[in-house]
Amino acid sequence: MEPTAGQGSSSTDISNNASSSSHAHSSAGSHSISAAQPVAVSSVAPLTKAEMKRAKAVSDAIDRALRADRERLMKERGAKLLILGPSETGKTTVLKQLKLLYGRKGLDAERQTYRRVVHLNAMKAIQALSYGLQRSNIPLEHPENIAHLETVMRLETTLKRYSITSLGFTNPAIPRKITDAKAETDMFLEMVPAIKALWNDEGIKQTFRTGGSLNLQDSAKYFLDSIDRIAEPNYIPTDDDILQARVRTLAVSEHLFNIDGVNYRIFDVGGQKSLRKYWAPYFDDVNAIIFMCALSAYDQPCEDDERQNRLAECLSLFNSIANHKLFEMTSFILFLNKIDIFQRKLESGSLLRDHFPAYKGENDYASATDFIHEEFLGQCKDTSKQVYVHFTHATDTKQMRVIVLAVNAIVQRLNLRSSGLL
C-alpha cells in the first residue's frame, strides 16, 4: 500500500517491507504467488497549535532577519539623486541646507569665502535696480542721489567681470586684481555710501516693487536691508547669509551625505540652457530625481531669452525630463520652491492670469498653487508616473529639515519596492 499524503516511513519500516516480500516468495514454491502483505507505515501526528505557533514565530524571525540584511545592504549601497531644474530655482540652496543639516562641518568651511559673494550680491542688486530705474524712467526722490546712481552705473562693466561662479577658485580669464578678495571688499566698502543712499530713495524702492522684469536676485532686499551689518570690518557671513547668497553653478558637482543611516550621492548641475547638454552622463542608475521650480518666476522672463516666461520654460524642461526614456521607471520629487516670494507677489497684485491666460481662478495662493501643481502633473505622458510634490521655502532651515526627512523616507520606500521588499 502506497503511503498517503502527509505520511512517511522510517528505515525500520523499509526493512520490514523487504523482509515480508522475501518470505512471501520463499513459501510460495511452485504455487501461485500470493497477494503482497501490507507494508507497515508509521503515521506522523499533526502539529499542535503551540507547535504551529512556534514554527511560525521561527519563520517570521528568519524573514525579519533577511529583510534587515537586505535593508542594511541597501543603506550601505546608498542612493543616487539628481537635482535638476533651470537656473535660479534653488538647487544650490537645497545643497547648502543639506550641508548645514548633515554635513560634518556644516557651512563653516565656506563661511569666509562667502563674504565676497555677499558683497558682490549687494553690489549687483543695487546695480540692477539702478538699471531698472533708468529703463522705467522713474525719477529719483532726491536729486542729489544722481551722483550715486552714476557711480553705480559706471561699475556695470567691472562687475560683469567678477567671478562668483566657483567658490575659492580664481578664473584665469579674469585679471588678478578683479578676483582678489581684498580688492573686491575694498570696492564694496567704497560703494557703501552710494548703496545706502540709493536703497533709501523712494525712486529705487518703487523700482523694486514693480521690478518683476528686472531679473533681480531674490536676496536683493535681504542684503540691501543688511548693508550696515555686512559692511562691518569683522563681518562673517551667518548661515542665513550663506543660504541667501547667490552663486551661479557652472559645473556638475557631487556631494556625499548620510541621512538617517542612508548614504546619498547627490549631484548638483548648472541650470542654464547652455549647460544642460552636460547632464546626460549622470542619468544612469538614478534612484530618484529632485526637480526644482521657482513658483515666483511666473512673472519673470528668462535671463537668456526675454521673450520666454521662466515658469513656462520650467514646465517645458520638466516635460522633457519626466518623459525621458532613461527615466521611465524613475520617480520624481518635485520642489515647487520660493513659496514665500510667490505669495508676496500675488498679494501685491501681480496677476497669474496675465502670464498664464489658461488660469481662470482667483489670484490667491491656494488657487494659484493648485493650478501650477496640476500643470506640472499634466506634463507626464505616463499618468501612472509617481511624482511627489512639495511646496518649499528652501532658505527656511526648519521647513527644509522636515522635507529632507520626508524625501529620505520616499527614497527608502522606493528602494524597498524596487528590491521586492514592499
Annotated binding residues for GTP, as ranges?
A: 88-93, 218-219, 243-249, 268-272, 337-340, 394
Q: Is 71 a catalytic residue?
A: no
The CA–CA distances, whole Å, from 174 to 41, 118, 185, 261 equal: 95, 19, 17, 43
Check if the beta carbon of residue 92 is closer than 8 Å to that of residue 250. no
Which one of the listed residues 115, 246, 392, 395 is annotated catalytic? 246
Q: Is 93 a catalytic residue?
A: yes
Closest CA to 296 of 214, 374, 235, 212: 212
Annotated binding residues, as ranges?
A: 88-93, 218-219, 243-249, 268-272, 337-340, 394
Q: How far is CA 292 from the centre of its chain?
A: 7
Q: Is 217 a catalytic residue?
A: no
Q: What is the Cα–Cα distance from 389 to 365, expressed in whole angstroms? A: 16
Which one of the listed residues 201, 241, 268, 299 is annotated catalytic? 268
Q: Coil, strand or helix: which one is 283?
A: coil
Torsion of CA 165, 166, 171, 176, to 10 degrees: 100
- Amino acid identity at 309: N
Q: What is the Cα–Cα distance from 287 to 407, expressed in whole angstroms? A: 12
Q: Is 307 a catalytic residue?
A: no
Q: What is the Cα–Cα distance from 71 to 391, expressed in whole angstroms? A: 29
Q: What is the Cα–Cα distance from 366 to 384, expressed in whole angstroms? A: 25
Which one of the listed residues 113, 238, 272, 399 is annotated catalytic? 272
Judged on CB neighbours under 10 Å (0-12, 13-18, 19+), 333 is: buried
Check if the beta carbon of residue 202 is closer than 8 Å to that of residue 136. no
Annotated binding residues for Mg(2+), as ranges?
A: 92, 249
Q: Is 370 a catalytic residue?
A: no
Q: Which residues are catalytic?
A: 88, 93, 246, 268, 272
